[in-house]
Structure 1
């Protein structure tokens, strides 16, 4: 009888623990509905941008122990904020003016230019050569040095979520976007030479996610079914890898992200799981290697499937040929939009996951054993210092963090009415006279779009300012 009472007591405690956990998740989900956050990493995963109804913030990712806030703007509600690498150039779109793009110099609190479009801006992508604005049925390609419209891709298939991606590598400056809203066709556009490059028939279902590798030579794709992820060679459209995320349920994949060394591919979705796939090159069996020496039972099974490929349905042979996740990471929450990245911080590979409820999770990445351990959980709103929680026993980093920078804060500025185009003279009115000479403006324009030195990348280099066009420049002729 005493044993039965103890068992009931244990079960009751477990039940209360589960209920408490569910209540915490429900509370977080409720907060996310009231405070939906735009979260995105910059091109080289050195900073994180967070847009809220009360402005936007930029955080440095140089340390896992502290999330250093390098800038805060509380002047308006922001739905899109994109930073150009580690320069001072940011492109922002507000909820109040969803058709207007503003390009700003956040360190100086200066608006460089703004431009209004015919429809709501759904996405903004930029690298050191181009800035792309995505509307539901058109794409505008700007020269980032003077913000002139170089080309407009009109009458694209309906793209209500603004799905597109731009290679961060200016040498392979390719733009990818859906070529159909009924099947998973990908259009690849050369954003430098301004012509269509190729069309890749990636999936049977409409596309849900796209991502270029850091070099711009590979493209990862996922469809609305969310079960299969493919990687293609951009040069000729050939399929290089095919991975199966799962078979039990269809999910919405929100992000595909190559690691900064291009050896891994991460996929996050509206579930609690982030999948990481290893991009191993195919290993051919050597001519003098016997069949008995290769792959054991898996080799035998693969050989059997290959031999019977003409008799089995294509769906069956596809399942056997698809790769599986190298690592599966379970997040504390689910049902939220998340963005993920894999990068090296403090000499170790890390998995970063930021969610739309205003939290970022940092995992220690073990590329040998194939595991991820939660190291830190950072809150992206509330306290201005970016509060964090350390997970006990999970830190393996031995690097030193950089000194904190005092967060800059921009005062509210009056914006021009929607539909107006700012000339340079109109922009200067927002700054104190004589703060920057004409030669300095031109120098900053060039400096922001130059490639960083090969040996290092200075995160807070004050010489990396955004483009400021010469006086009298007509941005959009």
Structure 2
């Protein structure tokens, strides 16, 4: 999920840091001026701080791998270096340096992918071996991308053009491009896979239309209209775990939730309502109308909406079941988390269930206190020991890199070397359940949010 304060802009991120939900939305990672924090999302009223570190300032990328203890951190102080930690042990697993600033990092059970402005690095997550480098990709200054998270496939989506909304879908298991989807006329602004990697949602910089495509075929399945009156900056797209709903947030005060359903399951149902009848008539007439007009008539409006208390700031949203109910979560760039109740049957305006303040106005997260609507939540400060203070990793090896050319198959060209890296001697035991817990089935309120 995209960060909450403008991907690809380390200078701006120093003000608010970043916010990202993990792959199954059971935890929230927050980057701040003073470090980073992890919060469990298994309760609406209580927000537990799983881990807090003040060792790394100005964190602008913070990603957690599911409910494991593996986290990826990038700081504005060293924007070319990615650090991977086992936060529960307080140890550094490895770090990699790249030729230019890191704009985004995505990870799943098979791969870790690093985005620079004009290149992409695909690593095997179990040993961090560089498998492939995609060079001279279209300029992507925001680091926009999406990586699927299910076990059987590992698809990567990223912009295929700087002038139009083409999406490149790359299979990071076979290390080959499987599709290029002409999704929009304008450049892309947001991308998201569903949990099973069968659907891909996209929005352009205009922000008026959201489309959903099949993966890997690239067939258009759904088209939703967010609005017609004004262009907006869509900052976040996210599917519910069952892919029945898709939420979209932007720099406006409204978050839209769309329902992914095929209308008109039977002739009797279609004739039951006036709206269904009109929909049928529009569908029949669309073949006689110009493509832009017929496209507008086939688009569905939001099933449910949320009106935030403020607008004009970036945020990230997700749909997740907490304590048996479907909730919409919105983390804002000023350090707040809003939790809304959503009615999956009737939709409509979602009701605010709880509001948590994650950081203060001055970003003083070291105070160990979080304020929330309904009272105060007290958390302890858990500062991880430094890499030198822990005995969990033996002496490390180090390689220096000064060249930046890489071959398409991931191997170094003659005279070139892989990115600068420092790694633990011996294997990274990601198959050990204590180190790298297996994916749990999606059940309501069962995740403990800890590795």
- Which TM-score applies when normalising by structure 1? 0.79
The 1:314/1:69 distance shift into structure 2, 3 A limit, reads same
Greater displacement, 120-129 / 35-44: 35-44
Contact 1:359 / 1:377 at 8 angstroms: preserved in 2?
Answer: yes
* Offset, 1:107: 1.3
Residue 184 (1) aligns with residue 165 (2):
yes
Q: Show the counterpart of 2:236.
A: 255
* Offset, 1:331: 0.2
Q: Provide the secondary structure at the position in 1 that maps to 2:261.
A: coil
2:53 corresponds to which of 73, 76, 86: 73
Deviations 1:362-418 (A, max 9, x none): 011111231310111111113524321049xxxxxxxxxxx9985522256689999
Q: Show the counterpart of 2:200.
A: 219
Greater displacement, 105-114 / 245-254: 105-114
Q: Show the counterpart of 1:141.
A: 122
1:321 corresponds to which of 264, 283, 298: 298
Residue 93 (1) aligns with residue 80 (2):
no
Q: Which aligned pairs between 1:277-292 and structure 2 lie closer than 5 A? A: 277-286=258-267, 289=268
Root mean square deviation, CA, Å: 2.6
Residue 108 (1) aligns with residue 89 (2):
yes
Deviations 1:20-56 (A, max 9, x none): xxxxxxxxxxxx9983230110001110000011111
Q: Which aligned pairs between 1:301-450 and structure 2 lie closer than 5 A? A: 301-370=278-347, 371-382=349-360, 384-390=368-374, 407-411=381-385, 420-424=420-424, 443-447=429-433, 448-449=435-436
Q: Which aligned pairs between 1:51-66 and structure 2 lie closer than 5 A? A: 51-66=31-46
Q: Provide the secondary structure at the position in 2 that maps to 1:156.
A: coil
The 1:406/1:261 distance shift into structure 2, 3 A limit, reads farther
In structure 2, how many angstroms separate the alpha carbons of the residues matched to 1:361 and 1:423? 38
The 1:318/1:303 distance shift into structure 2, 3 A limit, reads same
Contact 1:225 / 1:250 at 8 angstroms: preserved in 2?
Answer: yes
Contact 2:368 / 2:378 at 8 angstroms: preserved in 1?
Answer: no
The 1:363/1:460 distance shift into structure 2, 3 A limit, reads closer
Deviations 1:275-303 (A, max 9, x none): 000111343434xx59xx61543344334
2:439 corresponds to which of 442, 452, 455: 452
**Going by fraction, where is helix more abundant, 1 or 2?**
1
In structure 1, how many angstroms separate the alpha carbons of the residues matched to 2:371 and 2:399? 37
Q: Show the counterpart of 1:397.
A: none
Unpaired runs of 5+ in structure 1? 1-31, 392-402, 426-437, 465-477
The 1:156/1:453 distance shift into structure 2, 3 A limit, reads same
In structure 1, how many angstroms separate the alpha carbons of the residues matched to 2:43 and 2:400? 40
- Tell me how many residue pairs correspond in the alignment: 402
Structure with higher Rg: it is 1
1:242 corresponds to which of 223, 238, 242: 223
Q: Show the counterpart of 1:394.
A: none
Deviations 1:242-288 (A, max 9, x none): 100000100010000001222110000000110000111343434xx
The 1:423/1:301 distance shift into structure 2, 3 A limit, reads closer
Q: Provide the secondary structure at the position in 2 that maps to 1:317.
A: helix
Deviations 1:421-444 (A, max 9, x none): 21425xxxxxxxxxxxx7xx7545
The 1:235/1:444 distance shift into structure 2, 3 A limit, reads closer
Contact 1:49 / 1:81 at 8 angstroms: preserved in 2?
Answer: yes
Greater displacement, 347-356 / 302-311: 302-311
